[in-house]
Chains A and B, each alone.
Chain A
């Protein structure tokens, strides 16, 4: 069955490589290149250099003192990925994969994007490395995130609006896959989350694990102990898996927060792990939002970045193995989380981590003052100002 993979393609029963035959060679090649790069000190040094001097890592771990007081329970800490270059954690993965594409000798990059953060991160890195870049984005998301759409164009990327299906993230992934099937010989597809066929979920998690590695060390230095709980939002789940993974052998409780949209009961949500069931989409076996016949259901969330009917396969495994728990927070609650952090700490979060903030405040309130809650603050909220204003009934 071909070369024996040196990293497992599966997380329990989840993961794998369910792809059209045309792409099999490219995935084998990518897996090989990734393994070689991971073991190559020169690659590690180049990545570390760029993460430090270009991305601005390590990002701070911030003790949210006023928010802690408001919650009246555990201490609340924020891992500030919003302070990374381009304003979100997405850049960690984009830098790593772009370096890999150069090793593969592929001069053309494609990417999908939902909220636009991954598209911006990829376009940014391509500008810096002189790579040709095409980004697929649902036309519905372009409407919601026009600022990010314009940023990508300014960075020299070709932005392709996707008009099929629900015109959001899943359709952008389908379209990027179609491009890749067609141009696989010259093109690398930088998937933006820990989703997709093997080796993407593992590779993206490894590139994002810098979040948790730093946070672990910073907690030990600043709090003198590990957190009791780590909380992050989950769409595809790359920031959450990046935060969780370095704590996997520690006694730290993991909570992933999905988007409940207009409420799980309304049917208009993106709460894949909370109410979905396993299936295969975009090359991987994982929890999905699907109907009885296996058709994928359209999702909804106020945040474009969580608006996805699948989830990274490692999260599916963390759920079924009960290592992590997953909850859903609705649009209205996310807005409350957004306002709470903005007013108490002067930090404007993106709507995606606002879901995690809302739930973290509830969790912290029920804990002791000598306990610690770590929140993955995955991105900043500038991109969401129009959405928030509209939701609050303010016209800008």
Chain B
């Protein structure tokens, strides 16, 4: 369990304020962009940072994050590099909790135990592993628990109620609620049944709930903030990175995060 994550969510609740969690793929657009972007997110008011671990086959991601993954894989960016980015950002003063998001195979290839140990040493707080449901996560979950890492399960609109208990039991910091049945990516509107979905999850857990997938605008973030503890934004951030010139990516992300987080 990551105390830093627990404290951050507790502070948000105490202040009656939803948290903002932006995402960026590590090594996108270049290796050199990642540390400045992480620092810019925090400076812009982000509460928790999500760093994508590049994978060659990101099957739950839409076109935007897929592309970012392919570019980063082409640069040869690995899980080891992700630890390096976080370590460097911490050295430069990053305080916010950092959660790695990605797929299981790079973790397996690195070694589950070693990944959790090295993650703690680098200053990582938790993991969202898209293709690792708790039933398959036994060894990685144990490695996380032994190394102050939070395992963050996903909950989907198609998750049946009895199963929410299983997911909540694997969590210790927060649950990541997938707002739509679909891949990551920007959408015009948030799912209409989001409040009902979150109410269903809340019946089974008192842990904080973050909402992601399809959170695309400032308005979406505000709407999510009314019903959840945190909003996650990914593809929209990647779009900001894409629109900025090579010299101004971090600055553009900072301005965008300032605007969206309202801090």
A274-293 contact mask (Cβ, 8 Å, vs B): 1 or 0 = 00000111110000101011
B156 x A296 contact (CB < 8 A) = no
Q: Is B135 an interface residue (CB 8 A)?
A: yes
Residues A20 and B105 in contact, CB atoms below 8 Å apart: no
Q: Please report whether the interface of chain A is mostly helix, strand, loop or mixed according to DSSP.
A: mixed
Is the C-beta of B12 less than 8 angstroms from some C-beta in chain A?
no
- Nearest Cβ on chain A to B185's Cβ, whole angstroms: 10
Give the distance to chain B from A23, nearest Cβ to Cβ, in Å.
8
Of the residues A164, A185, A288, contact of B158 by C-beta under 8 Å: A185
B105 touches which of A177, A185, A280 (Cβ 8 Å) = A280
A184→B158 contact, CB < 8 A: yes
| Cβ of A17 under 8 Å from chain B | yes
B107 touches A294 (CB 8 A): yes
Q: Tell whether B206 is near chain A: CB-to-CB under 8 Å.
A: no
Q: Is A19 an interface residue (CB 8 A)?
A: yes
CB-based contact A165/B78 at 8 Å: no
Interface string of B165-177 (1 = CB under 8 A from A): 0110000000000
Q: Which of B3-11, B15-23, B51-59, B223-231 contacts its partner?
A: B51-59
* B187-235 residues at the A interface, CB under 8 angstroms: none
**A183 CB, min distance to chain B CBs, angstroms:** 8
Interchain CB contact (< 8 A) of B181 among A19, A165, A182: A182
A25 to B78, CA, bound (A): 32
The answer, among B54, B70, B131, B153, for a CB contact under 8 Å with A283, is: B131
Contact of B104 among A182, A280, A290 (CB under 8 A): A280
* A155 interface hit (Cβ, 8 Å): no
Bound-state CA distance A178–B153 (Å) is 19
From the candidates B62, B157, B167, name the one contacting A178 in the complex (CB within 8 A).
B62
What is the chain B residue whose CB lies nearest that of A176?
Answer: B59
Q: Is B93 in contact with chain A by the CB < 8 A criterion? A: no
Taking CB atoms, residues of chain B closer than 8 Å to A165 are: 56-57, 70
B73 CB within 8 Å of chain A: yes
Of the four ranges (under 10, 10 to 19, 20 to 34, 35 or more), the interface on chain A belongs to 35 or more
B-contact bits for A148-177, CB 8 A (1 contact / 0 none): 000000000000000011000011011001
The answer to whether B59 touches A288, judged by C-beta atoms less than 8 angstroms apart, is no
B154 beta carbon closer than 8 Å to chain A:
yes
* Docked CA distance A1–B133 (Å): 11
Residue in A closest to B137 when the chains form the complex, CB atoms: A18
Residues of B near A22 (CB, < 8 A) are: 60, 156-158, 178, 181-182
Are A177 and B78 touching (Cβ within 8 A)? no
Q: Tell me the complex Cα distance, A184–B73, Å.
A: 29
A393 interfacial by beta-carbon distance below 8 Å: no
A-B pair number, CB within 8 angstroms: 122
Contacts of B178 in A (CB 8 A): 21-22
In contact, B136 and A18 (Cβ under 8 angstroms):
yes
A17 CA to B135 CA, complexed, in Å: 8
B93 to chain A, nearest CB (A): 29
A2 within 8 A of B: yes
Q: Given known contacts A165-B56, A178-B59, is B105 in contact with A25 (CB within 8 Å)?
A: no
* A19-B133, A21-B155, A24-B133 as given contacts; A178 in contact with B60, CB under 8 Å: yes
- Please state if B80 and A18 are interface contacts (CB–CB under 8 Å): no
Residue of B nearest to A295 (CB): B56
Complex contact A279–B158 (CB within 8 A): no
Inter-chain contacts of B105 with A (CB < 8 A): 279-281, 288, 290, 294, 296
Given contacts A1-B135, A18-B136, A21-B154, contact A178 B183 (CB under 8 A): yes
- Report B-chain residues with C-beta under 8 Å of the C-beta of A183: 181
Question: A174 and B59 in contact (CB under 8 A), knowing A21-B133, A280-B105?
Answer: yes
Q: Which residues of B contact A185 (CB under 8 A)?
A: 158, 181
Residues of A within 8 A of B71 (CB): none
Residues A182 and B158 in contact in the complex (CB < 8 Å), given A295-B55, A295-B56, A295-B106: no
Cβ-based interface call for A26 (8 A): yes
Cβ proximity bits A314-329 to B, threshold 8 Å, 1 near / 0 not: 0000000000000000
Which B100-142 residues sit within 8 Å CB-CB of chain A?
103-110, 130-133, 135-136
Interface check B144, CB cutoff 8 A: no
Bound together, the chains give a CA A82 to CA B167 distance in angstroms of 47
Q: Which of B131, B154, B158, B181 contacts A280 (CB 8 A)?
A: B131
Contact with A along B36-71 (1 / 0, CB 8 A): 000000000000000000111111111000100010
- The reply to whether the CB of B159 lies closer than 8 angstroms to some CB of chain A is yes
A17 CB contacts on chain B under 8 angstroms: 133, 135-136
Whether the Cβ atoms of B104 and A170 lie closer than 8 Å is no
CB of B160 closer than 8 Å to a CB of A: yes
Among residues of A, the one whose C-beta sits closest to the C-beta of B160 is: A25
Contacts of B79 in A (CB 8 A): 293-294
- Residue in chain A with minimal CB distance to B63: A164
What residues on B are CB-neighbors of A24 within 8 Å? 133, 156, 158-159, 163
Q: Across the interface, name the chain A residue whose C-beta is closest to B80.
A: A293
* Cβ–Cβ contact B131 & A18, under 8 A: yes
- By a CB distance below 8 angstroms, the chain B residues around A174 are 57-59
Q: Which of B54, B135, B183 contacts A181 (CB 8 A)?
A: B183
- Known: A280-B104, A293-B79, A295-B55. Contact between A20 and B156, CB under 8 A? yes
How distant is the Cα of A17 from the Cα of B58 in the complex, in angstroms? 16
Query: CB < 8 Å: which of A1, A25, A184, A295 contacts B166?
Result: A1
B-chain residues with CB within 8 Å of residue A18 when the two chains form the complex: 104, 131-133, 136
Interface residues of B (CB under 8 A from A): 54-62, 66, 70, 73, 78-80, 103-110, 130-133, 135-136, 153-160, 162-163, 166-167, 178, 181-183
Chain A interfacial positions (CB closer than 8 Å to B):
1-2, 16-26, 164-165, 170-171, 173-174, 177-178, 181-185, 279-283, 288, 290, 292-296
10 A-B pairs within 8 Å (CB atoms) are namely A1-B166, A23-B158, A24-B133, A24-B159, A178-B61, A184-B158, A185-B158, A280-B104, A281-B57, A293-B110
What 3 A-B pairs are tightest by C-beta distance, nearest first?
A: A294-B109, A294-B106, A293-B78
